[in-house]
Amino acid sequence: MSPFPAASSAADARPLRLSARFACGALLLLMAGCQSPSPRATQPVAAPVPPAVPAAPQPVQQPAPTAADAVKPNPDSVATVPEPKVAADPWRNLRDRLIAERCDQPRQQHFIKRYAGNPERFQARLSSYAPVLHYVAERAAERQLPAAVALVPIVESTYQGYPGRGQRPAGMWQLIPSTARSVGLTVHGGNDQRLDTARATAAALTLFERLLQRFDGQLALALAAYNAGDGRVARAISKHPQRRPRDLPLSRITIDYLDKIDALSCLLADPPRYGFNLPPMPEGAQLVEVELDFPADAAQLAMELNTDATLLRRYNGAIRGPQTRPAGHRWLLPKGVTAAVASLDAGAVAPATTSVATSASTVGVHVVESGDNLWTLARRYGVTVNELRQWNGLSKQSLLRIGQRLRLTP
């Protein structure tokens, strides 16, 4: 959480054209050779013995071109045949940029076990947000920011766009309103751009650029400032200028924050060591930004694009809470479905005007699912545990039941 305002198919034809040019060039060279002696012949050659019987001239037989001729152009030719472009492996790009340090230290080992003590579960969770992780990693690389910045939303929210309430943090970057506004986001009424994955990511990366500039490019200090506030970190440095970041008088929560980023770096840099596999990331699943000039409902949009509604909501900061996004929202969509965007009907993806606004049976209600507890629900919906207890008549000893309906408002 950042609790402070920031400081101030033509290519396929080319080999064929090149092969034809090469064949013509070869023929011209052959004809020229018949007209004049080769300037490179420096050794004397014995005169040929005339044949006993004159022979009629025979036509020169040119060898038939082979497939190899088509792909082996004259090396002296100006034109070149480009190598086939291989799609970049986003996991390799991320791992090559990660710096895995202190992987065998006790605190890092502690958080490695917390995240991946059950490797299968960790792999499943990683699969659910991997496209957004790679989207953020690519944006960070474009700005030449450390790859570890892309791991921050895992620590903050597991890449889930939690809605906020009042001055509480919101979105997968968990920005408080004042910080969000300081980096250009709108947080007003029904337009909370902290839930816009593309815009919020751009804003968070701008914030990290400022923090790295303020703290002389030291990633650990920038991460600590993102968690605790740049003023607090700056004061700790002024009192203890010779100390390393982890030795500064900062809260245990902030030091744990640094250790969690280290642990995640270790896990993603060497998955086999920790017993899990990185999920496949085909090009069609990678995300691109598509800005719609009309409001849309995530579930309706997913239906029209024939894609998974739960994943689409997650990619766009709507895993919980409202799933409607206003006109101008930069939707993150898998590359494999973007061709269908041009034919979208605005009416088909428009937000419903009745169920969300007028149905009292569905407003502010959560149906308990397996794994839910009051603490996670309170964080998810931007309320407190005590408020959930009060609104639902629960005591500290009350147990939640699957299917139970909980009020999320007074």
- Which pLDDT value is given to residue 57? 47
Q: List pLDDT tens digits, range 127-158.
A: 999 999 999 999 999 999 999 999 999 999 99
- Which pLDDT value is given to residue 323? 75
| pLDDT reading at 260 higher than 60 | yes
**pTM of this prediction exceeds 0.85:** no
| pLDDT reading at 47 higher than 80 | no
| pLDDT reading at 345 higher than 70 | yes
Mean pLDDT of 50-71: 45
| pLDDT reading at 361 higher than 50 | no
Q: Which residue has the higher pLDDT, 111 or 379?
A: 111
The residues near 214 (Cβ < 8 Å, ≥ 6 apart) are 7, 222, 225, 230, 234
Cα separation, 230 vs 7, in Å, equals 8
Task: Retrieve residue 407's tokens.
Answer: 């009020």
Would you give the distance in Å from CA 300 to the centre of its chain?
24
The answer to whether 90 and 147 have CB atoms below 8 angstroms apart is no
Q: List pLDDT tens digits, range 308-323.
A: 888 888 888 765 555 7
- Which pLDDT value is given to residue 318? 64
- Which pLDDT value is given to residue 152? 98
Max alpha carbon distance in the chain (Å)?
120
| pLDDT reading at 84 higher than 60 | no
The residues near 32 (Cβ < 8 Å, ≥ 6 apart) are none
**% of the chain residues with pLDDT over 90:** 49
Q: How confident is the model at residue 251 (pLDDT cuts 50, 70, 90)?
A: very high
Q: How confident is the model at residue 404 (pLDDT cuts 50, 70, 90)?
A: confident
The residues annotated as belonging to the active site are 156
The residues near 252 (Cβ < 8 Å, ≥ 6 apart) are none
Q: List pLDDT tens digits, range 178-223.
A: 999 999 999 886 678 898 899 999 999 999 999 999 999 999 999 9
Strand partners, 175: 2, 170
| pLDDT reading at 88 higher than 50 | yes
- Which pLDDT value is given to residue 1? 62
Mean pLDDT of 273-280: 95
Under DSSP, the state recorded for 351 is P
The residues near 110 (Cβ < 8 Å, ≥ 6 apart) are 259, 263
| pLDDT reading at 45 higher than 60 | no
Q: Which of 246-260, 293-307, 339-353 has the highest mean pLDDT?
A: 246-260
- Which pLDDT value is given to residue 9? 38
Cα separation, 342 vs 354, in Å, equals 27
- Which pLDDT value is given to residue 242? 93
Main-chain phi, psi angles of 18, to 5 degrees: -65, -35
**Residue at token pair 């007028």:** 358
Would you give the distance in Å from CA 12 to the centre of its chain?
31
Tell me what the pLDDT averaged over the chain comes to.
79
Q: Which domains does the chain have, with CATH numbers?
A: 90-274 (1.10.530.10), 284-351 (no CATH), 361-407 (3.10.350.10)
